[in-house]
Amino acid sequence: MEFIYFLGRFHVVVLHVPIGIIVALVGLEWAARKEKYRSLAAASPYLWSAAAVSALVTVLLGYMHFAEGGFEGPSGTQHRLFGTVLAALTTLVALLRVSKFASSYEPLFFPASIVLLLLAAITGHFGGNLTHGSSYLAEHAPQPLRAIAGLPPRRPKVTNLAEADPFLDVVGPMLVQRCSSCHNRDKRQAGLDLTSYEALMRGGETGGTVVAGRPTQSELYYRITLPPSDDAFMPAEGKTPLTADQVRIIEWWIAAGAPRGATLAELDVPPDVEALIRAEVGLDS
Ligand code: HEC
């Protein structure tokens, strides 16, 4: 199984090959309809074959990658469905293109390439949701675009520490930055989504992700304070960990009852933690 997982991860590398070939096919089939570029059509059967082979390899690797788990959400299902249909259709058109009937289907190849490009875009959209979370692209978008994507208004930068919200301005952004690639709405490793307060408090499979008031009983705190070499250390897979200062802030936040909707002024923040928070939100310079 280890070896299947190993190969499966190449899905995210190899998938760019069929996409590139399909883009090239759209251009080639479009041009080849003009008298002047007619000669380009000679390359078409080869390119279609390459598209089909690379799409099939990508889908095969995709299923291997899926076996690793953690992709069970709706985006995973859609991504698999569209990707499989895309590879099947590409193969069908390629078979037609290299067959002896190719000339009678000539007008079909350009529209077919467009349809496949659209399918590739849809598949890529769901795949992107899996790896980055569905709000990834809209994250830094201008406000109106964020609203269309269903994202809450961006938090204004903290200018006055006393008014900062300990979750929305401090702890939440750390978790999004360091953890959300594996723990988001669409890709929930161990059932855990760390991109909102509600989801964090709902917790993961093991439960007790955050036990308000009790850092040492909180699975989340336990995971980020293990030795980095421990298999259960978070973030997993050698991803950039939280800094010691961030861990200290999280410890304080959980001990303070995991508040949200309060301001720092209303909470009892020890001076050392306050200094760390000040640096964390960029008020130090
Ligand atoms: C590279 C992917 C990845 C990243 C990044 C990541 N995790 Fe995880 N996380 C996992 C996987 C896989 C599991 C399930 C395996 C396990 O429990 O160790 C998991 C499990 C967990 C669990 C246990 C949930 C439960 O209920 O069993 C917690 C808590 C957790 N992660 C917290 C975090 C935090 C906090 C961060 C950011 C500092 C983070 N993770 C970043 C992959 C990741």
> What would the pLDDT profile of 35-88 be if each residue is shown by its tens digit?
999 999 999 999 999 999 999 999 999 999 999 887 877 888 999 999 999 999
Ligand 1 test: best mutation among 189, 229, 242, 248, most atoms within 8 Å of CB?
189
Q: With a 6 A CB cut-off, is 65 part of the ligand 1 pocket?
A: no
Average pLDDT in the chain: 92
Same-domain status, 33 and 104: yes
Measure the CA–CA gap between 174 and 168, rounded to whole angstroms.
10
Domain span holding position 64? 2-132
Residue 285 confidence (pLDDT) = 59
Cβ atoms of 224 and 234 within 8 Å: the answer is yes
Residue 1 confidence (pLDDT) = 86
Question: Given pLDDT bands bounded at 50, 70 and 90, which one contains residue 204?
Answer: very high
Same-domain status, 76 and 172: no
Q: How far is CA 250 from CA 166, 242, 245, 270, in A?
A: 10, 10, 9, 13
Q: Domains in the chain: how many in total?
A: 2
Same-domain status, 228 and 178: yes
Same-domain status, 17 and 84: yes
Same-domain status, 180 and 264: yes
Q: How many angstroms is it from 201 CA to the middle of ligand 1?
A: 15
Q: Which residue has the tokens 């059967």?
A: 45
Measure the CA–CA gap between 218 and 208, rounded to whole angstroms.
6
Q: Cα torsion for 177, 182, 183, 188, to the nearest 10°?
A: 170
Q: With a 6 A CB cut-off, is 225 part of the ligand 1 pocket?
A: no
Does residue 139 lie in a domain region? no
Same-domain status, 186 and 90: no
What average pLDDT score do residues 194-205 get? 94
Tokens of 282: 């960029």
What average pLDDT score do residues 246-265 get? 94
Q: How far is CA 152 from CA 73, 143, 189, 201, in A?
A: 22, 9, 24, 19
